[in-house]
Amino acid sequence: MTAAPEAREMVAIAALAAAEKGATDIVALDVSDTLVITDAFFIASADNERQVNSIIEEIEDKLRESGHKALRREGTREGRWALLDYGDLVVHVQHDDERDFYGLERLWKDCPAMEIEGIEAPSRDRANEVDPDLAGSGE
């Protein structure tokens, strides 16, 4: 099974909106074979809390314009890790520090990355990065 066409459409809209606001390391993962509650994860990074919220607002605006409304919205007050739940798509916009620490790509590394037209793949593979704090700790 692969992500539904509607989820793929939402990923494309979210990615272009995030890129427009300066998001970095934009990635989408097809989690449809692993999770029953959603088809795709969209993940992007920002340098600071204000930018996290700016990216989230732009994604929400663009998705709303195309007829999609978030079912739930979390973390926007803190601006460190904001989440938008659209059912078929879950959007994660994280401050760079949270992204490096929590490593969503490492947790979901068995899920295939989705190609996003018009968005260049990240220059580094976060799924294979090793947390320096855990390296050599036997974990």
Tell me, what's the pLDDT at 2? 87
Tell me, what's the pLDDT at 131? 46
Domain ranges of the chain: 5-114
Walk along the chain (139 residues) and give the pLDDT tens digit of each residue.
688 999 999 999 999 999 999 999 999 999 999 998 999 999 999 999 999 999 999 999 999 999 999 999 999 999 999 999 999 999 999 999 999 999 999 999 999 999 998 887 775 455 455 444 444 444 4
Q: Which helix (H) or strand (E) holds 53?
A: helix 49-65
Whole-number Å distance between alpha carbons of 84 and 91: 5
Question: Tokens 């195309």 appear where?
Answer: 66
Residue 6: strand, helix, or coil: helix
Tell me, what's the pLDDT at 118? 82
Tell me, what's the pLDDT at 123? 54
Listing from the earlier edge strand, what are the strands of the sheet with 72-74? 24-30, 40-46, 89-95, 81-85, 72-74
Q: Where does 5-114 sit in CATH, by number?
A: 3.30.460.10
